[in-house]
Amino acid sequence: MQPAVTRSANRQIARAAGTMMIAFVLSQILGLARSILMTRAFGTGAEADAFTAATRLSDILFNLVAGGALASAFVPIFTGFLTKEDRTEAWKLASSVANLVMLILAGLAAFSAVFAPWIVRTILAPDFPPDQQALTVSLLRVILPSAAIFGVSGLLMGVLNAHQQFFVPALASSMYWLGMIFGIAVLTPSLGIFGPAWGVLAGAGLHLAIQIPSLVRLPQKRYWPDLGLDMPAVGQVIRLMGPRLFGVAVVQLNALVNIRIASGMPEGSVAGIGYAFMIMTTPLIVIAQAIGTASLPTFSAQVALGRLDEMRSTLTSTLRGVLLLALPASVGLILLREPLVAALWERGRFTSASTDLVAWALLWYAAGLVGHSVIEIVYRAYYALHDTRTPVLVGAAAMGLNIVFSLLFAALFRRVGWAPLGGLALANSLATGLEMIAAVFLIRGRVGGIQAESLALGLAQAAAGSLAMVVGIEAWVLGMANQPDSLVAIRGGVTG
């Protein structure tokens, strides 16, 4: 029988994940609303490609300094201080890391703004025509300050999560989308594609602002205006970030390679892979990221208290829950990709050709949803164990394969007459699947094994649920196909 403490930990994760899922669902609804407005205004044309490329560099800067690398190193150490009731050291650590993040990101953003023409021409989108490159440079300079704002906001999310507060940090993403919606709906008529760019800045500010009231209410909080470079905990965060930073850099390099390859494909390919990836990440965020974010503080507390057996059981239960949700979601996206894309975006400048382009990429991205979801959980178990090296080595190897696969599959798809952006999506899914297998295999040695029978049962249940979904969708398609005005009939069914 599972120990009471383990059941309590599972319930804690379930409650936190459920709370976050509500906020994430709202965020994804607003995100889809933003994408509907964006595609109606700009479709998958040259302006949309330029905007996608510009936002990618800002995302890279944030992810390198204050994204997954910082969270994986900061949250376990900060949670350890809180578990031991050492709040003074906890807040000294948070203050020092916040100051470092702001200083580094502001400097990188300023550097990137100055050298933006060279970055776009040489690294980001060398195959764009000159006028499109110039537009990308201008958009990039507007968007770059958001990286520093998101850096501080991302750290606040970690602080609140460590205090078992999940709803408001999860709601922050909704505020970001509201800022972008404002930019598109209100500013685009007068500013064109610069409307959404200014919307990014507005959204970043709202992302930060909504978390401040919750931060103010935390007990025994205090801010120190120094970098804390002589503080052992800061050094530990930096050391733990080192390997993870390398892994994030490899992931971002892969993203740059994809943008660069796609910039030489037919117009709309850069935006097309962006929209397809966004649909795939909708269930990923709602399911796996919600559960993963909720599980990290619990894993970290179990490790800090030396309860490795409890952590192993909690990890297994969490993985089983993710499988039960992710596999049916993957199957559903594959089957419903064309009517889903058409229903969301096929209006204005987003044509039926745009639908075909995005749905084709979504087919191959959706196949990797299970791999992405499992990795979200397993890597957080490594971080709780203060092991950032193993995820980095596994992730770097996988992303190296991803780059190789991207070049090979894009060329292969083009040779057989298929849209080559599908090859980029397939490369991502295949590399992620291999990464998942390696990560799960290696974590067994760190936690003393996992409950394989429980995981196998969860996978079988997920497969049964997926089969039931296939039957239900096919029955729905047969019924809708007889109605000539239905979306399924118009778009030619769920399989395209």
Higher pLDDT, 270 or 337: 337
Residue 41 to residue 53: CA distance in whole angstroms: 17
Tokens 């892994």 -> residue: 247
Comparing 9-13, 33-37, 133-137, which segment has the lowest mean pLDDT? 9-13
User: What is the per-residue pLDDT for 469?
Assistant: 79
User: What is the per-residue pLDDT for 25?
Assistant: 78
User: What is the per-residue pLDDT for 250?
Assistant: 67
Token pair of 396 as six digits: 């770097």
Residue 96 to residue 424: CA distance in whole angstroms: 40
Token pair of 492 as six digits: 């030619």
CA 496 to chain CA centroid, Å, is: 27
Phi, psi of 219 (to 5 degrees): -75, 145
Q: Does residue 427 carry a pLDDT above 90?
A: yes
Q: Does residue 230 carry a pLDDT above 90?
A: no
Question: What band does 413 get if pLDDT is binned at 50, 70 and 90?
Answer: very high
The average confidence (pLDDT) of the chain is 81
Q: Does residue 487 carry a pLDDT above 60?
A: no
Comparing 17-26, 151-160, 401-410, which segment has the lowest mean pLDDT? 17-26
What are the residues whose beta carbons fall under 8 Å from the beta carbon of 445, sequence distance 6 or more?
Answer: none
Question: What band does 383 get if pLDDT is binned at 50, 70 and 90?
Answer: confident
Token pair of 87 as six digits: 């709040």
Share of the chain above pLDDT 70, in %: 86
Question: What band does 142 get if pLDDT is binned at 50, 70 and 90?
Answer: very high
Find the mean pLDDT for residues 39-66. 75
**Cβ neighbourhood burial of 367 (10 Å; 0-12, 13-18, 19+):** buried
Higher pLDDT, 55 or 434: 434
